[in-house]
């Protein structure tokens, strides 16, 4: 599997070159390269890269036509929502997921 690192920030590119990225992150990025997704549900805490960095990479690689990203996270401290939005996520849902909150986020995303 070959990963084009041109869109990766230096730390992530170094990780790819060293073979450190776990299959989750590589698979997610490759999946986005293979086909368009309208919405991505992104966990902030992933094995290697993390959701914030993965979102930044997605936004760098697909700045105008990328998917909408909703973060789903157990981190619900003050300021966390703002960090997620600054990274390029479109909405934020705290765990445990409530159907009503997911439905609200999906409706909001459709308005963008």
Domains of the chain: 5-111 (3.40.50.2300)
Q: What pLDDT, on the 0 to 100 scale, is given for residue 109? A: 87
Q: What is the pLDDT along the chain (112 residues), one digit of tens a residue?
A: 344 545 444 444 444 444 444 456 677 778 888 888 888 888 887 766 788 888 888 898 888 888 999 988 886 677 888 888 899 999 988 888 888 999 999 998 888 6
CB burial string 60-86: b at 16+ within 10 A, e below: eeeeeebbbbbbbbebeeeebbeebee
- Cis status of the peptide bond prior to 96, with omega within 30 of 0: yes
Nearest of 103, 11, 95, 96 to residue 53 by alpha carbon: 11
Nearest of 40, 55, 49, 42 to residue 86 by alpha carbon: 55
Provide the token pair at 19.
Answer: 């073979």
The secondary element (H helix, E strand) that includes residue 59 is helix 51-61
Q: What pLDDT, on the 0 to 100 scale, is given for residue 91? A: 92
Displacement of CA 85 from its chain's centroid (Å): 11
What are the phi and psi torsion angles at 9 (to 5°)? Answer: -65, 160
Torsion of CA 20, 23, 28, 30, to 10 degrees: 80
Q: What pLDDT, on the 0 to 100 scale, is given for residue 14? A: 45
Q: What pLDDT, on the 0 to 100 scale, is given for residue 15? A: 46
Q: What pLDDT, on the 0 to 100 scale, is given for residue 25? A: 67
Q: What pLDDT, on the 0 to 100 scale, is given for residue 24? A: 66
């Amino acid at each position: 599997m070959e990963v084009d690192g041109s869109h990766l920030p230096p730390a992530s590119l170094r990780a790819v070159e060293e073979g450190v990225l776990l299959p989750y992150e590589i698979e997610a990025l490759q999946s986005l390269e293979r086909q368009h997704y309208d919405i991505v549900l992104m966990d902030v805490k992933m094995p290697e890269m993390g959701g914030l960095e993965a979102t930044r990479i997605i936004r760098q690689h697909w700045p105008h036509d990328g998917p909408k990203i909703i973060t789903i996270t157990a981190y619900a401290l003050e300021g966390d929502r703002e960090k997620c939005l600054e990274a390029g996520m479109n909405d934020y849902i705290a765990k445990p997921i409530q159907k009503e909150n997911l439905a609200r986020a999906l409706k909001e995303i459709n308005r963008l």
